[in-house]
Structure 1
Amino acid sequence: MTSRQTAPTTPQPLDHRFTAPLEKDGTYATFVTVPGSAELLGTRRAVKVGGTIDGHPFTATLMPSGAGPHWLPVRAALCKLIGKDKAGEEVEFRLDQRFS
């Protein structure tokens, strides 16, 4: 493999469930803070994950907040699908895959 090639993305199992309120600010339109993410993932870097939000499948890249936990951006289409888009609304997450 040359220095320009990268290893294929393969899923690794995760089992992390949490409920968090939707948040909004200028960084991402809508996001949640993932509690304990730095410890769970062993890094403060960006990490692609997959799972469910209120039972609906999704993939996203957890973004480091710089202060500890990661932020999980929630796309507008997914907010519409789950019927929640206001700051403070509680959402249930299950992270079941990490892509590396």
Structure 2
Amino acid sequence: MPAAEKPAQKIDKTFKSKIQSDGAFPTFIELAGSAELFGTRRPVKVGGTIDGHPFTATLMPSGEGPHWLPVKAALRKLVDKDTGAEVTVHLQERLS
């Protein structure tokens, strides 16, 4: 029997950060303070907006503290920004 899904937890946290490119993900945003916000350095699935455009993604631990939010090419195209550009990330719910 599959484990019961946890209901989404509402959050209201906004970050400003630059889109970066390095490591395992083609492009990502580093979310300073995320490990403290979520109380874990493990992957965390979230939903929210980047520059007003909705997304869901799994925040991945960087190994050095903050989580990385992978940013897909389609979302970068929607916000019309690429590596080096600053974006506003509004986290609205924790899905895992």
Give your verdict on TM over 0.5. Answer: yes
Q: Which runs of 5+ in 1 are unaligned?
A: none
Indicate the structure with greater strand content.
2
Larger radius of gyration: 1
Q: Which runs of 5+ in 2 are unaligned?
A: none
Q: Distance in 2 between matches of 1:64 and 1:10?
A: 22
Q: Distance in 2 between matches of 1:61 and 1:7?
A: 19
CA offsets, 1:9-66, max 9 Å, x none? 4210111101100000241011010010000000000000000000000000000011
Q: Secondary structure at the match of 1:29?
A: strand
Q: Distance in 2 between matches of 1:14 and 1:78?
A: 21
Q: Determine which of 74, 77, 99 is the counterpart of 2:74.
A: 77
Q: Percent identity of the aligned residues?
A: 59
Query: 5 Å matches for 1:51-62?
Result: 51-62=48-59
Cα RMSD between the aligned structures?
Answer: 1.0
Q: Distance in 2 between matches of 1:40 and 1:26?
A: 23
Q: Distance in 1 between matches of 2:86 and 2:77?
A: 14
Aligned length, in residue pairs: 96
TM-score for both structures, normalised by structure 2: 0.95
Query: 5 Å matches for 1:33-72?
Result: 33-72=30-69
TM-score for both structures, normalised by structure 1: 0.91
Q: Distance in 1 between matches of 2:80 and 2:70?
A: 16
Q: Distance in 2 between matches of 1:13 and 1:36?
A: 17
